[in-house]
Amino acid sequence: MAIRTTIGWSLITSGIVTLLLVYLPFPSVYWGVGLLIAGVLIFVTRRAA
């Protein structure tokens, strides 16, 4: 069940981010890299806890 929840939130979040990239001021590459780093940090800190 946790896998379904994770996949669901991932899809929702990626959809929202895709829509936001149209309106963000900097090129989407920078936002993509920043969000990727943030996601990895959250994943790593959750696994450690």
Token duo for residue 36: 């990727």
Rounded to whole angstroms, how far apart are CA atoms 6 and 28?
Answer: 24
Rounded to whole angstroms, how far apart are CA atoms 35 and 14?
Answer: 10
DSSP, collapsed to helix, strand or coil, labels residue 36 as helix
Q: Per-residue pLDDT for 1 more than 70?
A: no
pLDDT above 90 coverage of the chain, percent: 0
Q: What is the torsional sign of CA 9, 12, 15, 16?
A: negative
pLDDT in tens, 20-41: 777 777 777 777 788 788 878 8
Rounded to whole angstroms, how far apart are CA atoms 16 and 4?
Answer: 18
Residue range 1-30: mean pLDDT, rounded: 75
Enclosing domain of residue 38: 2-48
Residue range 5-27: mean pLDDT, rounded: 76
Tally the domains of the chain.
Answer: 1
